[in-house]
Amino acid sequence: MRSDTFFLLLSILILVPGVAGSEEPAARYLIELDEAASHRMHIEARVPAEGIDSVTMWMAVWTPGSYKIREYSKNIEALTARDSAGRALPVEKLTKNRWRISCPYSDEVVVQYQAYGRTQSVRNCFIDSDGAMLNGAATFLIPEGGEEGPFDVRIVLPEDWTGCETSLPRHPDGASTHYLATDIDNLFDNPIVAGNLLVETFEVDEIPHWLVFQGDRSLWDCPKTADDVRRIVEEQVRFWGVIPYRGYRFLNVIAESGGGLEHLESTLMLTSRWSYRDRKKYRGWLGLVSHEFFHTWNVKRLRPRALGPFDYNREVYTDDLWIVEGITSFYDDLLLARAGLLDRKQYLEKLSKQIESLQETPGRLLHPLSTTSRDAWIKHYLPDENSVNSTISYYTKGAVVGFLLDTHIRSLSGGTHSLDEVMRLAYHRYSGERGYESVEFRSTASEVAGTDLSDWFQFHVDEAGELDYSAALAWLGLRFKDPTEKEGEEKEEEDEVQEGWMGLEASDRGGRVVITSVRVGTPAFDSGLNVDDEVVAIDGYRLLPGQWEARRKQHPPGSVVNVMVSRRGGLREIKIELIVKPQESWKIEVIEDASEEQRMRLAAWLGRAGQEALEEEAKKKAEEKTEKESSPEED
């Protein structure tokens, strides 16, 4: 591994200076952030124009990894152009994201524009007096025909900001905020964060990694966080067996928002200042880190053929987002467990939640995974009140199918092969410029499994329907908990009246109780209750904000409830018969009398978390044996 890294670094050191020395930049950008307090940046783009009559500039409409048309050009303000002598040039707007500048007698066109950035999202730009978070697709106007670059980028920071971090290649002049992107993909793939930053650094196999904090990190233990991130990196490097980058940045923007987006040599993440103090939320943040970092291999290098080179002006389609995002979602928490950052119980809770989320989504019976991938542009990123009934998440079902595929391969091969091996073999064959077709990934899985999995993929990926978890769970000595079993506080509540179930969600909205979701096949759906109905009264008594949860729990199964609603200003009363909520349990637990073989499989699958659980069980048994032996025998 280290010898491969040496040659990678050597090739980079040889090639990057050559770009700067041999090619005139397709554009030179100057970004000024002196008006950050008003959420604006001023950008100047200098484009060579000798011998041509016009220059056309365009802006991307989406960012790779986030499959939605974002219309970044809506944030462009006050666009003007001049020649190198300062003379104004005419600008014609051709389409929503393209401008043509006439320049028949100019050797250079200087385009100046102002961009507004106040969207706290890993796909957009956010700028204020405390710092800036810039995404290339939402920042740069590109000269048509100059997409192959290179692009010179210089950033001027406010005097009270301390730094700027990005994985854009440094300009050969060595200036701290001067960069030279090799081409348009390189320019768009490297987000920039600036402000008063804190940077923690660590190495894995002699490769540098930077954990960058922007924002209020006073509640975070930054060195401890960096150590946890290092453990994630080490575990994933062990998984893949190769480090494909010369350095990697985790850009952690602390803002009251969330999300993450993968890049070749960095990830941009948003999180809350409170996440570190809440252990559950912090484990969720570690899962985000693990997810985005896994993408370093799975999608940024091992990718469906459709996902690169990119057309930044329109949608691109693939049936394989379940591989890109779903399998990544399967491994993100599993690799935390293998690294010892989740224990066995915590991991099984997360796996249970994924299965539960899928099983409580009626849309799972309508759309296969492959179609859901293709519909990402119009459904996943554009949810509405009916989404739960009409679609599924390729993240969630993809993760569940990843789990089933992994255990299926392990079972078929007697535990000698797994999805881990499929991912590594696919990476070896298809990473880089080529990409893979769906059939190639599936055939690789069949090869590793030692049998044709075509029918398996047809059922799990290309068709909609219920999934069978029994074989997967049994292989690992797991089961779904019996929903009739009570424990702890649940036992104390057995005498309480069982609440009836309607199958709807409601919330307080502007002093009203409003229905926000109605699931297909439930009493609420069958009775004719609608989303956006205001619930005015139940059984003749006025319902006030804050009372919904308490009032709905007062009616046992079998009750017929009169619900008065206001729909578009008209009052109507609807009768609804409550039922017992379906009691299927998706909580996974270890089978108490699992065989030794099953226990060893589970321990091996979970890595460090599994081994620690075995050791804890052995310790507990030893203590129980000692206690029994030391207790006096009774006559």
DSSP string, 533-585: -EEEEETTEEPPTT-HHHHHTTS-TT-EEEEEEEETTEEEEEEEE-BPPP---
Tens-digit pLDDT profile for residues 543-571: 999 999 899 889 999 999 999 999 999 99
Tokens at residue 66, please? Answer: 């986030």
* Beta strand ranges found along 151-254 (DSSP E): 151-156, 163-165, 178-181, 192-195, 197-204, 207-215, 248-254
**pLDDT beyond 80 at 122:** yes
Top pLDDT among 10 and 214 is at 214
Asked whether the domain spanning 504-577 has the same topology as the one spanning 24-195, the reply is no
Architecture of the domain made up of 24-195: Sandwich (2.60)
Tens-digit pLDDT profile for residues 275-315: 999 999 999 999 999 999 999 999 999 999 999 899 999 99
Segment among 133-147, 207-221, 577-591 with least mean pLDDT: 577-591
Answer yes or no: are the C-beta atoms of 17 and 221 closer than 8 Å: no
- Residue 494 confidence (pLDDT): 53
Domain ranges of the chain: 24-195, 198-296, 300-484+589-629, 504-577
| DSSP strand pairing (266-271 vs 248-254) | parallel
**pLDDT beyond 90 at 623:** no
Q: By C-alpha distance, which of 437, 467, 459 is closest to 320? A: 437
Amino acid in the structure at residue 555: H
DSSP state of 320: -
Mark out the alpha helices in 391-437 (DSSP H runs). Answer: 394-412, 419-430
- The CATH T-level fold of domain 198-296 is Neutral Protease; domain 2 (1.10.390)
- Residue 103 confidence (pLDDT): 96
Query: How far apart, in whole angstroms, are the C-alpha atoms of residue 524 and residue 527?
Result: 5
Answer yes or no: are the C-beta atoms of 546 and 508 closer than 8 Å: yes
- CATH class name, domain 504-577: mainly beta
Cβ neighbors of 340 (< 8 A, separation 6 or more) are 231, 607, 608, 609, 612
Query: How far apart, in whole angstroms, are the C-alpha atoms of residue 565 and residue 504?
Result: 14
**pLDDT beyond 50 at 520:** yes
Tens-digit pLDDT profile for residues 415-468: 999 999 999 999 999 998 889 999 999 999 999 999 999 999 999 999 999 999
DSSP state of 181: E
| % of residues, the chain, pLDDT over 90 | 86
Query: How far apart, in whole angstroms, are the C-alpha atoms of residue 502 and residue 554?
Result: 12
**pLDDT beyond 80 at 493:** no
Average pLDDT over residues 309-335: 97
Query: What's the pLDDT band for 16 if we cut at 50, 70, 90?
Result: very low
Average pLDDT over residues 176-193: 98
**Degrees to nearest 5, angle at CA 92 with 91 and 97:** 105
Tokens at residue 241, please? Answer: 């067996």
Query: What's the pLDDT band for 581 if we cut at 50, 70, 90?
Result: confident
Q: By C-alpha distance, which of 502, 579, 582 is closest to 548? A: 502
Superfamily of domain 300-484+589-629: Neutral Protease Domain 2 (1.10.390.10)
Give the CA dihedral 528, 533, 534, 538, nearest 10 degrees: 10
Q: By C-alpha distance, which of 221, 376, 335 is closest to 607? A: 335
Coil/strand/helix, residue 599:
helix
Average pLDDT over residues 104-131: 97
Average pLDDT over residues 55-67: 98
Average pLDDT over residues 498-505: 90
Please provide the size of the chain in residues.
635
* Beta strand ranges found along 401-503 (DSSP E): 478-480
**pLDDT beyond 70 at 3:** no
Query: What's the pLDDT band for 133 if we cut at 50, 70, 90?
Result: very high
- What Cα–Cα distance (Å) separates residue 49 from each residue in 27, 104, 111, 265? 10, 9, 12, 33
Query: How far apart, in whole angstroms, are the C-alpha atoms of residue 326 and residue 397?
Result: 7
**pLDDT beyond 90 at 497:** no
**pLDDT beyond 50 at 10:** no
Give the CA dihedral 269, 271, 277, 282, nearest 10 degrees: -50
Residue pointed to by tokens 């001027």: 156
Average pLDDT over residues 528-540: 95
Other Cβ atoms closer than 10 A to 317: 14
Query: How far apart, in whole angstroms, are the C-alpha atoms of residue 57 and residue 516?
Result: 43
Amino acid in the structure at residue 39: H
Q: pTM to 2 decimals? A: 0.91
Residue pointed to by tokens 């206001």: 566
Give the chain's mean pLDDT: 93
- Residue 11 confidence (pLDDT): 42
**pLDDT beyond 70 at 247:** yes
Per 3-state DSSP, the chain is made up of helix, strand and coil in percentages (nearest 5) of: 35, 25, 40
Q: By C-alpha distance, which of 543, 562, 587 is closest to 353? A: 587
Average pLDDT over residues 134-154: 98
Tokens at residue 461, please? Answer: 């990926």
Coil/strand/helix, residue 95:
strand
Query: What's the pLDDT band for 22 if we cut at 50, 70, 90?
Result: low
Average pLDDT over residues 141-167: 98
- Residue 67 confidence (pLDDT): 96
